[in-house]
Amino acid sequence: MAFLQNKKNFFLTVFTILIAIINLLLIIYVAPLNDLEGWGRKIFYYHVPLAWNASLAFVVCTYYSLVFLKTKNKNSDIKAMSWAESGTIYALLVVVTGPIWAKLAWGVSWRWEPRLTTTTVVILIYIAYFMIREFSLNKEKGAKLAAVISILAFTTLPLIYYSVDFWSPEMQLHPQRNNLGYGTKSIFYFSLFSFTLLLLNAVKYRVFLEKKGAK
């Protein structure tokens, strides 16, 4: 594979895989259970890092979208799209792992509560982002419109984060931010590091493919 012929890419990929394996073993064999959630508690170490990294990806996507609109630099557009793709995949995994965890923790897998609703809205906005890029007859105008959409999507991120504070606890499945807790913090932060590495590697590979295809 051409991507791995680059030594930096090769070592980053190998390192990412090793960290991911260690993370998996830590979650399975070391991360503690609790009486309420049982094994479902282990999903926490996937769900929350995925959510944090999805937000990170959308923030970086917004940055490159702004740069693209200002400079018309194609590389910035490619990076914006790559971050958007990875962020959307992470966000989809968030809404898959979330209901599993919620069912085990609170007995309800899905409810149209504030955070779930706003997260779903963001995913739908980014699906529109990709559709505009894919089906626009004028690719340059489509890329510009998609960049504007990504900036608009960014404005919903604070709403997702603070949604648990805006509405009463009775209206939602998610705990208040100050009541979340991070389980075994060392394992949580290691998992966060692992998923961040995976995100960076995925974006780097996606940018590589786009630039290779543009040649």
Tens-place pLDDT, residues 152-189: 999 988 877 776 666 555 555 555 555 555 557 899 99
Q: pLDDT at position 215, please?
A: 53
DSSP string, the chain: -HHHHSHHHHHHHHHHHHHHHHHHHHHHHTSPP-TTTGGGGGGHHHHHHHHHHHHHHHHHHHHHHHHHHHH--HHHHHHHHHHHHHHHHHHHHHHHHHHHHHHHHHS-S----HHHHHHHHHHHHHHHHHHHHHH-SSHHHHHHHHHHHHHHHHTTHHHHHHHHHHS-GGG-SSPPGGG---SSHHHHHHHHHHHHHHHHHHHHHHHHHHHHHH-
Q: What's the average model confidence in pLDDT over 124-133?
A: 95
Per-residue pLDDT at 22 exceeds 90: yes
Give the global pTM: 0.88
- The proportion of the chain whose per-residue pLDDT surpasses 90, expressed as a percent, equals 62
How sure is the predictor about 56, in pLDDT bands with cuts at 50, 70 and 90?
A: very high
Name the residue ranges covered by the structural domains of the chain: 2-214
